[in-house]
Amino acid sequence: MKIPFVSFEPMHREVDAELKNALLSVYEAGWFIRGERVTQFEQEFAAYCGAKYCIGCGNGLDALFLILKAYGIGAGDEVIVPSHTFIATALAVTYAGAVPVFVEPDMESYTLNPARIEKAVTPYTKAIIAVQLYGQAADMDAINAIAKKHGLKVIEDAAQAHGALYKNKRIGNLADAAGFSFYPGKNLGAFGDGGAVVTSDKELADKVRALANYGSDYKYHHIYQGNNSRLDEIQAAVLSIKLKNLDRWNENRRKTAQKYLTEIKNEKLILPVEMPYNSHVWHIFAVRTKERDRLETYLNENGIGTTIHYPTAIHRQKAYENLGLLEGSYPLAEEIAATELSIPMYYGMTGEQIKYVIDTLNRWR
């Protein structure tokens, strides 16, 4: 049996006609940027997250960068980010001109460990970016409490967790602002790049909206040295259709994860943990083992697609050699990088496929 790491096919098949009609309607309307479909999606997504404002933008990296820039965070400032995340979290900080300060994860949830944050706070710290990693939220109450004590902004990197809940509250509405990505492979994915900033802070929302559109508040009137980062009508039309189905699609991932968690039984594997305060949306199902590379080869040889999230910790990437962070600086991030393997997880996996993945993993010696 062949099981890809990810497939959009079951999801897209269900809304095939709706998607095709939407694409055609954008083409026929002949209006591609800053139109009514973007406005509509922004309203829908803000409401879905329980926040007041949503501003579409070009991608998830830009969403995080625009939030930092709108808060005036840049040269001379420090921003706390997890040592274990996708590199975009750190890139947003350096793109803004600030310095990323890494904090190690909690080894159960793999999200930012609040107990380690305070040691990293300095007089230059301006914000914390908490990543809702693999599909579940970090411990936001604890993180917000530390931020409040030190006067820091808290930004959610929500790129992997559309629809996840923390203490029954939707992510995207758990801090000062959130950055989302709609990269095709995310739980809510477009047909290209896309992103959004979600916040209930009107001042921030107005500033992000202007920054993302050349720094202009109205046409040819520029109040900031802005950027060009916009969601387009095609992506917005696709996202509106998918948003209506997101909870159901996430619920299906949760069922698959539940089966994995109860039926994968192999002492060599460390399975992921859904923290008791979370409703996880399983963007990624991450297993860990000391013999990761051997497991990867074994699964691939048995027709099962896998990916590593992520093979090199950010502080060990060539892009950040200027930070001078040697091997061993962030041992937990390095350990995850050396042991993590993501197994197939997507909407619409069949019972037979799920069983095959489980049986293949249980047979591994």
The site for ligand PLP, by CB under 6 A, has a size of 15
Question: CA 60, CA 89: separation in Å to the nearest integer?
Answer: 9
Question: CA 177, CA 155: separation in Å to the nearest integer?
Answer: 5
> In this complex, which beta carbon is closest to ligand PLP, that of residue 91 or of residue 257?
91
> In this complex, which beta carbon is closest to ligand PLP, that of residue 152 or of residue 188?
188
Minimum Å distance from CB 157 to ligand PLP? 5
β-pairing, 221-222 vs 216-218, is antiparallel
Residue 186 among the catalytic residues: yes
Which positions from 117 through 136 interact with ligand PLP, judged by CB under 6 A? 131
Smallest CA-to-CA distance from 134 within 284, 313, 5 is with: 284
> In this complex, which beta carbon is closest to ligand PLP, that of residue 104 or of residue 157?
157
> In this complex, which beta carbon is closest to ligand PLP, that of residue 110 or of residue 356?
110
Minimum Å distance from CB 199 to ligand PLP? 17
Catalytic residue selected from 69, 126, 153, 186: 186
Cα 25 to Cα 28, 31, 37, 80: the distances in Å are 5, 10, 10, 43
Is 212 in contact with 204 (CB distance < 8 Å)?
Answer: no
Q: Is the dihedral of CA 186, 189, 191, 192 positive or negative?
A: negative
Report residue 135 as tokens: 């599909």
Q: Is 195 in the site for ligand PLP (CB under 6 A)?
A: yes
Q: Is 160 in the site for ligand PLP (CB under 6 A)?
A: yes
Q: Which residues pair with 154 in a beta bridge?
A: 128
> Site for ligand PLP (CB under 6 A): which residue of 89, 111, 113, 187?
89
Question: CA 59, CA 27: separation in Å to the nearest integer?
Answer: 22
Q: Is 157 in the site for ligand PLP (CB under 6 A)?
A: yes
Minimum Å distance from CB 224 to ligand PLP? 21
Q: What is the full DSSP assignment across 265-315?
A: --TT-BPP---TTEE---S-EEEE-TTHHHHHHHHHHTTB--B-S-SS-GG
From residue 242 to residue 281, the character string flagging contacts with ligand PLP as x (rule: CB under 6 A) and all else as - is ----------------------------------------
Minimum Å distance from CB 85 to ligand PLP? 5
From residue 47 to residue 86, the character string flagging contacts with ligand PLP as x (rule: CB under 6 A) and all else as - is ------------xxx-----------------------xx
Count of Cβ atoms closer than 10 Å to residue 153 Cβ: 20
Question: CA 21, CA 198: separation in Å to the nearest integer?
Answer: 28
Q: Is 159 in the site for ligand PLP (CB under 6 A)?
A: yes
Catalytic residues: 186
Residues that bind ligand PLP (CB under 6 A): 59-61, 85-86, 88-89, 131, 157, 159-160, 181, 183, 193, 195
